[in-house]
Amino acid sequence: MASNLEQIVVKRRHRRGPREGGGGAWKVAFADFTLAMMALFLVFWLMEVANPKERYKIAAHLRDYTILDKEANPFDIRNSPYPVDLGGNPSTLAEAAPEYTTSIEPGALYDELQVGHFESSEQMMELARFIHRMMVDMGAADSVQIEVVPQGLRVLIRDNDKQQMFARGSAQITPFFEQLLLRLAPIFVKVQNKVMLSGHTDSSNYPSNQYTNWELSGARALKARQVLESGGMPKDRIAEVVALADRMLANPQDPLAGSNRRIELLILTGKADHELAALFNRHDPGSALSQAVKQAQLAVPLAMPATKPVEPPAPL
């Protein structure tokens, strides 16, 4: 009886219809991956066609460039630091900064200096010629301005058209100018004059009042002092470190010019050093500050009006 039962076979078929489209997220990921690989191989190619001097220039430009710098136009390719122009051919760049060792040993050049204090204009002129010859030998003549002033010798160190002394908005000194200060430091082993060191900025404004050009100029001046002392300059040579922000612009017609960002060394004569110390030394009876305090103390009783003594009230 069971053999007479009919076997029922159920066959399931999938209904054919339009398939759902897959997601497109993989396309975005693949496009990002392709772009990253293309950029990587482009970097490899640039490093291959660039020589060491061009690589140094590119690194310095990428480290120091800022849109706040008026003199740097990212859309002007005439002075582009990149080693490949629009035609795909390697371009010739300006000569990169010469490389120096970080330890500067006094050599025959420093032996030409006499030991002692430099007081007369003739001595200051001789020192100015010595520093100028050293800067020319280093290739930094366009970064240093030297002039004899009544107070001594003024050495102005500033940005040039090729390099900046500090990274924009910070006290991080660039390698070229660090070597420049290290070359100057051994001079003050023999030149025993005191030095006033001042920091200057341009008139670029900061969005926050917590850090202004006053703090920036002071930090840069202190950084220059540290580099000079690490290069061999005796610590007692520094008479004063001053922050001047943008109060003494070297180029008042263009407050944002790179020439306003500078460090100044004023090598003081003995007279100028004494006058500077007299401004702050109150314990010296002959100092200007001490005399001013005495005059003020004498003037106070004379300026006060005479008062009639107060009598006690009569008893009730």
Residue 7 lies in a domain: no
Walk along the chain (316 residues) and give the pLDDT tens digit of each residue. Answer: 555 667 777 777 766 655 555 567 888 889 999 999 998 888 888 777 777 767 766 666 665 555 544 444 444 444 444 444 434 443 333 333 344 443 444 456 777 788 889 999 999 999 999 999 999 888 888 899 999 999 999 999 998 777 889 987 888 899 999 999 999 999 999 999 999 999 999 888 776 677 889 999 999 999 999 999 999 999 999 999 999 999 999 889 988 888 889 999 999 999 998 888 887 776 666 655 556 666 666 665 544 455 555 565 666 5
* The pLDDT value given to residue 184: 93
Of the candidates 80, 91, 117, the residue with the CA atom closest to the CA atom of residue 272? 117
Tokens found for residue 142: 């366009």
Q: Are 119 and 76 in a shared domain? A: no
User: Are residues 83 and 216 both part of a single domain?
Assistant: no
Task: Confirm whether 26 is domain-assigned.
Answer: no
- Residue 41 tokens read as 């191989």
In the block, tokens 């107070």 appear at 151
Is the same domain home to 112 and 219? yes
Kindly state whether residue 206 falls inside one of the protein's structural domains. yes
Q: Specify the number of domains making up the chain.
A: 2
Q: What is the CATH number of the domain that holds 195?
A: 3.30.1330.60
Q: In this structure, is residue 123 part of a structural domain?
A: yes
User: What are the tokens at 106?
Assistant: 């006094």
Q: Is 280 exposed, middle or buried, given 0-12, 13-18 or 19+ CB atoms closer than 10 A?
A: exposed
89 torsion bin: left (phi>0), alpha (psi -120 to 50), beta (else): beta
Single pTM value for the model: 0.60
In a domain, 214, yes or no: yes
- The answer to whether residues 181 and 220 belong to one domain is yes
**Which pLDDT value is given to residue 316?**
56
On whether both 206 and 138 belong to a single domain, the answer is yes
**Do 92 and 116 belong to one domain?**
no
User: Are residues 187 and 52 both part of a single domain?
Assistant: no
Residue 124 has a pLDDT of 93
**How much is the pLDDT for 61?**
62
Amino acid 237: pLDDT = 94
Q: Which domain holds residue 225?
A: 108-268
